[in-house]
Amino acid sequence: MMTEKKKPPIPFFEGLSAQQQRDMFAVGISKTAERGQKIFFDGDRATGFYIVLSGKVKIYKLAPEGKEQILHVFGPGEPFGEVPTFANDVFPVHAQAVEKTNLLFFPRESFLGQIRQDPDLAMGMLATLSRRLLHMTKLVESLSLQNVSTRLAAYLVQLSEAQKQAATVRLDINKGQLASLLGTVPETLSRALNRLTNQNLIKVQGRQITIINRAGLDEWEETGL
């Protein structure tokens, strides 16, 4: 029986016709990475890029002393590694599977061929890169201009929004990882959660976080206090 892999929607390919998408998938090479397995290393030459079919991949930098800063966690449908692939450069980050992950690998050359034939493909990619860039802009803003509690509040609001405004959200990564994503350490995150809890803005039960006072969180976001 030919069981087809479920294909998550791939924003990268949004706006492409069904035929174009089939063409793209045709040049992709299926790969698998186990939990904890490195997909590429900071400094590796980029011979192509990846799209996550299932599982999760974290993209991170390593400081000399070993502390890591997670830049992204990519899930199904999300591409990574396109940037250095395009610029014909080396990967500027590490990539590691957070759990068992299925990937599609697009070798640089075959992809370039596709793009030349197909301007719309390039358009879709441009949209994706734009969105990514916007995201980085916001990350820089929050890292440099806001304190940890503010960043946390913003993260929770955004998470709630992503989950259809649910008052109770569930972290999809553990708190240590969340700390790294917010550019801090677990201890500090723990204290930030306390601060918001003490102000009756949220309630924390493990990975489950209930937003008690959404307006109050927004306030934090804006004023930084």
Partner DNA sequence: TGTGCGCCTTGACTTAAATCAAGAATCGAA
Partner DNA sequence: TTCGATTCTTGATTTAAGTCAAGGCGCACA
215 part of the interface to its own copies, by CB under 8 A? no
Cβ-Cβ contacts under 8 Å for 82 (sequence gap 6 or more): 12, 49, 125, 128, 129
**Minimum distance from residue 189 beta carbon to its own copies (Å):** 14
127 part of the interface to its own copies, by CB under 8 A? yes
Lookup result for tokens 């301007």: 119
Lookup result for tokens 């969340």: 178
H helix runs in the chain, sequence order: 18-27, 82-86, 108-117, 119-145, 148-162, 175-181, 186-198, 214-223
**Minimum distance from residue 216 beta carbon to its own copies (Å):** 16
161 part of the interface to its own copies, by CB under 8 A? no
64 part of the interface to DNA, by CB under 7 A? no
37 part of the interface to DNA, by CB under 7 A? no
CA 163 to chain centre: 16
Q: Whole-angstrom Cα distance, residue 20 to residue 57?
A: 26
61 part of the interface to DNA, by CB under 7 A? no
3 to 42, contacts with its own copies by CB under 8 A? none
Site string for DNA, 141-180 (x = CB under 7 A): ------xxx------------------------xxxx---
CA-to-CA separations, 133 to 44, 101, 129, in angstroms, rounded = 22, 25, 6
130 to 159, contacts with its own copies by CB under 8 A? 130-134, 136-141, 143-146
Quick one: which of 64, 164, 205, 206 contacts its own copies (CB under 8 A)?
A: 64
CA-angle at 167, arms to 182 and 149, nearest 5°: 25
Sheet holding 101-107, edge to edge: 29-33, 101-107, 48-54, 79-80
**Minimum distance from residue 17 beta carbon to DNA (Å):** 43
Task: Please report, as ranges, the residues that interact with its own copies according to CB under 8 A.
Answer: 61-65, 67, 69, 71, 82-84, 86-87, 89, 92-93, 115-116, 118-119, 122-123, 125-127, 129-134, 136-141, 143-146, 183, 222-224
